Structures are given as C-alpha cells and as structure tokens.
Amino acid sequence: MRSCALCGKKSLIQKSGAHQYGGGWAMRATKKRFERRVNLHSAKVTYLGVRKTMRLCTKCLRRVKEEMKKLVEKKKEIRFKKKPEFVTSAVATA
C-alpha cells in the first residue's frame, strides 16, 4: 500500500453506493469498493544528514522544501558574513 515516508499517511479503502430510488432489496444500489489514493511525490531529501529519495505526500513535501530553503539561506549568511574588523589604532598606540 502506498504511504508517505514522513507522516505515514496511507491510501483509504472505502465503499460507496448511491441510493437514488426507494424500494426493497431488489432495487437497492450495490456498494462498490474504491480506493482514495494519497498524492505522493518522489523527492530527493537530506534527512538526518543523509541524501536519499523518499516518497512524500504533498503536505510533507511543502514542509521539507520550506525547511531546506531556510537551511540554504542560513548557510549563505554564514558564508558571506563579514569578518570582524580589528581596531588597529588601539594596537598601534599600546
């Protein structure tokens, strides 16, 4: 059965039947079995420090993309952060 790797959301198996007309057992609508499938996507994700392909539902995929975007921005801030300027005049006078 299909399921999300993070949240564990699965497909649902249900029965449906439409009762449009009145009547006894002879006219009763038969119940049909159908499956509601989860909207899964294959995505390459860094999870617990390991890069792997996972099948994620749409909700989890949005959350993961947002978290990865935050991590990339944080890394860029650290990389391009200006180095502290030392006061050379205080060193020269002392």
Which pLDDT tens digit goes with each residue over 23-64?
666 566 677 888 889 999 999 988 778 889 999 999 999 999
Structural domain boundaries enclosing 68: 12-78
Residue 7 belongs to a domain: no
Q: How many distinct structural domains can be found in the chain? A: 1
Evaluate whether 12 touches 47 at the Cβ level (below 8 Å).
Answer: no
Of 55 and 77, the structure prediction assigns the larger pLDDT to 55
* Phi, psi torsion values for 88, nearest 5 degrees: -85, -25
Residue 40 belongs to a domain: yes
Residue 66 belongs to a domain: yes
Of 68 and 41, the structure prediction assigns the larger pLDDT to 41
Residue 5 belongs to a domain: no
Integer Cα distance of 16 and 10 in angstroms = 19
Residue 86 belongs to a domain: no
pTM of this structure: 0.61
CA angle (10, 65, 5) in 5-degree steps: 25
